[in-house]
Amino acid sequence: MQYNFKKIASVPAASDFIDVVLSRTQRQTPTVVHAGYAIARIRQFYMRKVKYTQQSWNEKLSRILEDFPRVDDVHPFYSDLLNVLYDKDHYKLALGQLNTARAMIDKIAKDYVKLLKYGDSLYRCKQLKRAALGRMCTIMKKHAASLAYLEQVRQHMSRLPSIDPNTRSILVCGYPNVGKSSFMNKVTRADVEVQPYAFTTKSIYVGHTDYKYLRWQVLDTPGILDRPLDERNTIEMQSITALAHLRAVVLYIVDISEQCGFSIAQQAALFHSIKPLFANKPLVVAINKIDVRKLEDLSAEDRALIDGMRDAMRGPAAMQLGDDDALPIMSTLSENGVMEVKNRCCDLLLAHRVEQKLASRRAGEVMNRLHVATPVPRDSKQRPAFIPSTLEASRARKAAGEKIVTEKELQEQNGGAGVYSADLRKRYMLENDDWKYDIVPEIYNGKNVADFIDPEIEAKLAELEREEDELEAKWEAERMDREPQEADLDEDERALLGEVRTRRNKLVAEHRRKKAAGNNNPVVPRKVDHERKLNTKNMKSSLESMGLDATAAVERARSRSRVVKRGRSMGADASMGADDANEDGKKMRTSKSRSKSVAKRVKDEVGGGLKSVDATLRATKMADKAQRKRNKLAKSGEGDRTINTKLPKWLNSGKRGNGKTDRR
């Protein structure tokens, strides 16, 4: 049973609480309503506001009431600790007020929703909603003090240690500055502040240690003074609460040097004063600071007081451990005897727990069901335990003083972990030790693979590879001898070889051209005509070789290549007069505009994909007619996605979403 008070959510202040709920209502509900709406819609709009606000209050208040622990439901230790630290009455009163506020808010919402059902106008509905939210906020403002008090309680509870009241625990107690925190720092991994003045420890600290493979909880309590219970302060009452309710072994530390500022008589008086809290708990009285003052140096009166404390700690568990003579002694400074004190406390608590389990009714029921069977011997033959011969031999060698090297030592000598590989075969128990390192046969289909392997296979493979290299070298030499050398050729043979190489290069280039560009292109780009064969000169010679007149074809090809330039020069000549000629009789170009109408441009064009000029004009009119619908929409074409209104209402208005900060 462990309580984690760090999970309790923070309690906001009243003003922040109101802002959070109202802001959430504004963000999560509709915000636009008009007087022109139907009255049922207006009522529903404001009823939703009131209901959502009531639900928000209910959820947040219920979360607070559920997170804080109930005093009557927790362990008595935590119940009394809450009473000591925060006053149980105030704590219950604050939670009760929040519970009442939650019920009042629910009732207000119910009443105003009923009134909103009969609202006859937008104004009346709005005023009812405003009154409902205002009354809810007023109720929470009245409970501002309760919210602030619970937040302080939550902050303090989050700093409390997580103590398990039922686990194995060692409870350290005594006067202030006797060495309780020092003992805890030595036996656990905790780091409690230690100072040479009283009441350094102001609350209960928890540490953990291990003993017999079990986890133990060590509690360091604040110091206690010997005075009546009603005069003790909050710090002391924490220790009294722990002593009264925790099932733990109590370790009472006595400062034998009296450097804590309290004499042995005062420490003994405190011990006997709180002795009723030790009832039904194992008790250990430890003498601390023996490095300053020995136990033998005590006076008779002080020794008698210590003996009185020793007699008080005797009990059934202590008698089983043989603890009836001396008290455990230690020094937290030199760590002398610290672990012995811890071990004695743990053993005493374990024995005490066993006694409690045996004394319970449940243990008796279990014992009645147990039966230990003892086998009856069937003969008088002795059957001693079997000890392997290897173990006997190792024991004999060890008894003789022979040093036995372990596997770990071999590992460290041969490179360490990850490098050394243990030899497992040396411990094989075979008839012949020479068989330990034999190769394990590989069985395939019931047959040993080694029986089908030629022992000379590697040598034969090397011989085959050598013969193959010799044959390759011989073939290469013969090939070089068969090929004619260019130096041995005469002039005619060299010319023929050059023609062959040129023809081969042309064939390769033609093949690459066909593969890259293809032969189906109607127009051959200049970059494809690498040899510049496609010109008017070759075309004229080719046509004349077939008996055709190529004059018209050549003129047409030349005119099409210069059609733009000729058209411009002709237009310039037509627009010039006699005055525009220079002294050499050449025409001068003017800057007169050459814009033409659509009909004129269509007439001058030849072809254009249509068979006649009329068809071209008809197609142009049809295209213009089809575009009129788009022109009316102020769009340049089907792909026009322009939004003419730069800030349309539907795109730049509405509520803000979650995480948005921009306003309308």
Task: Give 10-residue mean pLDDT values along the chain (664 residues).
Answer: 75 91 91 90 94 94 89 77 80 91 95 92 93 94 92 84 83 87 86 76 84 88 81 79 82 86 85 83 86 82 82 52 63 85 89 82 78 87 87 87 85 88 87 86 86 86 93 85 68 88 90 69 62 81 85 80 47 44 46 46 56 86 83 72 69 67 56
For 250, the 3-state DSSP assignment is strand
> Same structural domain for residues 77 and 46?
yes
One domain for residues 227 and 171: yes
Which 3 state secondary structure label does DSSP give 383? coil
**Are 201 and 327 within one domain?**
yes
Q: Report in angstroms the alpha-carbon separations of 432 from 173, 425, 426, 428, 436.
A: 70, 13, 12, 10, 8
| Whole-number Å distance between alpha carbons of 570 and 563 | 10
Taking CA atoms, 612 is separated from 605, 606, 624, in Å, by: 10, 9, 19
> Which tokens belong to 309?
């404390």
> Which CATH number characterizes residue 60's domain?
1.20.120.1190
| Total residues found in the chain within this entry | 664
Ranges of beta strands (E only) in 410-553 are 443-444, 447-448
CA distance 245 to 248: 9
CA distance 47 to 505: 93
CA–CA dist 465, 476 (Å, integer): 17
Look at residues 362, 380, 395 and tell me which one is the last residue of a structural domain.
Answer: 362
Residue 143's pLDDT is 93
Contacts of 184 (CB under 8 A, 6+ apart): 172, 190, 192, 205, 207, 218, 220
Domain end marker among 140, 156, 172: 156
Residues 228, 288 within the same domain: yes
**Judgement on whether residues 9 and 121 belong to the same structural domain of the protein:** yes
Residue 136: which of 106, 182, 105 has the closest Cα? 105
pLDDT of residue 54: 94
User: Who contacts 610 (Cβ-Cβ below 8 Å, separation ≥6)?
Assistant: 616, 619
Asked if residue 170 and residue 150 are part of one domain, the reply reads no
Is residue 251 located within the same domain as residue 137? Answer: no
Angle in degrees, 0-180, between the axes of helices 88-116 and 76-86, rounded to the nearest 10:
90
- Say how many domains are in the chain: 2
pLDDT at 141: 93
Q: Is residue 656 part of a domain?
A: no
Q: Looking up tokens 């959510």, which residue turns up?
A: 9
Q: Same domain, yes or no, for 121 and 176?
A: no
Torsion of CA 316, 321, 326, 327, to 10 degrees: -80
Q: Which residues contact 486 (CB under 8 A, 6 or more apart)?
A: 494, 497
Question: Torsion angle, CA of 485/487/489/492, rounded to 10 degrees?
Answer: 130
Q: Give a yes or no: residue 587 inside a domain.
A: no
- The residue type of 404 is I
- Check if the beta carbon of residue 209 is closer than 8 Å to that of residue 218: yes
**Assigned domain for 374 exists:** no
pLDDT of residue 575: 43
Q: Are 267 and 255 in contact (CB under 8 A)?
A: yes
pLDDT score recorded for residue 487 = 66
Range of the domain at 247: 161-362
416, part of any domain: no
DSSP β-ladder status, 249-255 and 214-220 = unpaired
The CATH number that applies at residue 264 is 3.40.50.300
- Give the model's pLDDT for residue 40: 92
Residue 260 sits in the same domain as residue 318: yes
Inside any domain, residue 537: no
pLDDT of residue 214: 87
Q: Are residues 272 and 141 part of one domain? A: no
Bridge partners of 215?
210
Full 3-state SS string of 157-188: HHCCCCCCCCCCEEEEECCCCCCHHHHHHHHC
Q: How far is CA 211 from CA 191, 221, 258, 351, in A?
A: 19, 21, 31, 14
Contact indicator for 133, 22 with CB cutoff of 8 Å: yes
**286: in domain:** yes
Residue 43, domain member (yes or no) = yes
Residue 291 domain-assigned? yes
Quote the pLDDT of residue 128.
Answer: 94
Query: Same structural domain for residues 251 and 141?
Result: no
Long-range contacts of 655-662 (CB under 8 A, 24+ apart): 655/27, 655/30, 655/31, 655/32, 656/27, 658/27
Final residue of a domain: which of 296, 328, 362? Answer: 362
Q: Are residues 100 and 28 located together in one domain of the fold?
A: yes
